[in-house]
Amino acid sequence: MAKSHLRKCLALAFCVYMITACSHKNVVVLVPDPDGRVGSITVANAAGSVEIDTANESTAIRDAETAPGAPAEMKQKDIDKLFGQALAIQPQPPVHFILYFEKNSTRLRPSSLAMLPDILSAVQARRSEHISVVGHSDTLGDKSYNLALSERRALVVQKLLVKKGVDEAFIETTSHGEENPLVKTADNVGNPKNRRVEVVVR
Amino acid sequence: MKLASLLMLSVAISIFSFAPCVAAEEFVGLVKSVEGQASIARGGETKEVVAGMDIKMGDVLKTGGDGSVGLIFSDDTIISMGPRTELAVEDYLFEPIEGKLAFIARILRGTVAYLSGQIAKLSPESVQLVTPAATIGVRGTHVLIKVD
């Protein structure tokens, strides 16, 4: 009697040990975006799912056959302890700039030219070695002309950046012609929003 | 006749051999920051991770005990990995004009921070962060994941 009880106890202890030792416990935490906004996540497996839409709420999932645990707040110091190194290496989000041009021209609009210092400080802040410069046009005129125009626009921006000290090797220049408009229009329609160069600083 | 078919064959070969080159040119992502030891496995080869290197679909990244890595994808998604972490870029597609969007990352172990980009904004259902015990769906957000 006592012997079988002991055996049961041992078996139970062994089970508990196996579960803790072998489980690939997962923890998922929702944290605010860099701008302070809080999104939402769904954590799901075959056994169930949990929704989280509150900052610093977390769920623990024991294994794929066990439903994710009820959301619980994770203290900031625990977040730092668990994820400090992953967060320390997190790159700054890329920045996008849109520079507009005069009609059928490679001349930058004054308000866009004025954005150059912002681009340069974004390059410096990120020590960026990966800058995309993508030229576009509106649909006025024929396709091949617009492809060439968008290419010339991209080159103008590339040269401006190089002149201000950005290493040419870090700039990747491409041109999309009229194929990738910001505002969709019929063919042969002039649109100031489509006469542009997009710069992405990563 | 023989010449014509030979010509066709050579055209076909040149088209097929050219196609992968074009696909390879597409920018998927880059290693923005790296500290300590980290490796990247691509097509059976393993290399050391260095800052500035390109990331491709199918890559598996691993960090050592002192390693950490920060990645930026073409849609602005940011993934960063702490030490002793293994992550696979299982699917990546960012062609917003055609509406072709996919982001699937598998976290095999370690600690990962995910910060959503344009794919999550345009099509949240196209983003999946897969762990051994669950799959995480996101709505434009910042998530921390730990896999023991």
Residue type, B64: G
Determine the Cα–Cα distance for residues A143 and A155; give it in Å rounded to an integer: 18
Range of the structural domain that residue A75 is part of: 24-88
Mark yes or no for CB contact B138/A41 under 8 Å: yes
Instruction: Single out the residue in A50, A65, A88 at which a domain terminates.
Output: A88
The pLDDT value given to residue B140: 82
Domain ranges of chain B: 28-147
Task: Nearest chain A residue to B98 by CA: give it.
Answer: A180
* Under 8 Å between Cβ of A26 and B147: yes
User: What pLDDT is stored for residue B19 in this prediction?
Assistant: 42
Residues A58, A156 within the same domain: no
* A160 and A77 part of one domain: no
Residue A91 exposure: Cα atoms within 13 Å on the Cβ side: 31
What pLDDT was estimated at residue A38? 96
CATH of the domain at A123: 3.30.1330.60
Q: Is residue A171 part of a domain?
A: yes
Q: Are residues A116 and A45 in the same domain?
A: no
Verify that A33 and A123 share a domain, yes or no.
Answer: no
Considering the domain architecture, whether residues A112 and A68 belong to the same structural domain is answered as no
Angle formed at CA B30 by CA B127 and CA B27, multiple of 5 degrees: 75
Whether residue A13 is contained in a domain is answered as: no
Number of domains in chain A: 2
Sign of the four-CA dihedral A88, A90, A91, A94: negative
Interface mutation vs chain A, best among B79, B142, B143, B145, most A CBs within 10 Å: B142
- Count chain A–chain B contacts defined by CB atoms under 8 A: 148
Residues A118, A188 share a domain: yes
The verdict on A76 touching B (C-beta cutoff 8 Å) is no
- Helical H segments across B1-148, by residue range: 2-25, 118-122
Q: How far, rounded to the nearest angstrom, does the alpha carbon of residue A26 sit from its chain's CA centroid?
A: 23
Q: What is the pLDDT of residue B76?
A: 97
B131, B138, B148, best to mutate vs chain A, most A CBs in 10 Å: B131
Residue A16 within any structural domain of the chain: no
| Minimal Cβ distance to B135: which of A45, A63, A94 | A45
Are A91 and B80 within 8 A, CB to CB? yes
Using alpha carbons only, how large is chain B's radius of gyration in Å? 18
Contacts of B52 in chain A (CB under 8 A): 129-130
- Using the 3D structure, point to which of A88, A108, A141 is the last residue of a domain: A88
Contact call for B81 and A89, based on CB within 8 A: yes
pLDDT at position B97 is 82
Dig out the tokens for B34 from the structure. 């790296």
Q: Residue A4: its pLDDT value, please?
A: 62
Can you tell me which residue has the tokens 């940011």? B78
Asked if residue A121 is part of any domain, the answer here is yes
Report pLDDT for B26.
Answer: 81
SS3 labels along chain A: CHHHHHHHHHHHHHHHHHHHHHCCCEEEEEECCCCCCCCEEEEEECCEEEEECCCCEEEEECCCCCCCCCCEECCHHHHHHHHHHHHHCCCCCCEEEEEEECCCCCCECHHHHCCHHHHHHHHHHHCCCCEEEEECCCCCCCHHHHHHHHHHHHHHHHHHHHHCCCCHHHEEEEECCCCCCCCCCCCCCCCHHHCEEEEEEC
What are B118's two structure tokens?
Answer: 């344009």
Given this model, what pLDDT does residue A20 score?
A: 47
A165 lies in the same domain as A77: no
Q: Check B133 against A66: CB less than 8 A apart.
A: yes
In chain A, which residues have their Cβ closer than 8 Å to the Cβ of B136?
28, 41-44
Quote the pLDDT of residue B8.
56
pLDDT of residue B15: 46
Does the CB of A85 have a partner CB in chain B at under 8 Å?
A: yes
Residues A122 and A77 in one domain: no
β-bridge pairing A95-100 and A72-73: unpaired
Separation in Å, CA of A187 to nearest CA in chain B:
17
ipTM of the complex: 0.84
Q: Which of B27, B80, B133 sits opposite A89 (nearest CB)?
A: B80
Regions in chain B scoring below 70 on pLDDT: 1-25
Instruction: Tell me what pLDDT residue B103 has.
Output: 98
User: Domain boundary at A67, A88, A109, which?
Assistant: A88
Do residue A84 and residue A108 come from a single domain?
A: no
Q: Say whether both A42 and A137 belong to one domain.
A: no
Residues of chain A predicted below pLDDT 50: 1, 17-22
Best of B27, B34, B55, B146 to substitute, by most chain A Cβ atoms within 10 angstroms, is: B146
Among A40, A66, A94, the residue with its CB nearest the CB of B72 is: A94
Predicted pLDDT of residue B3: 53
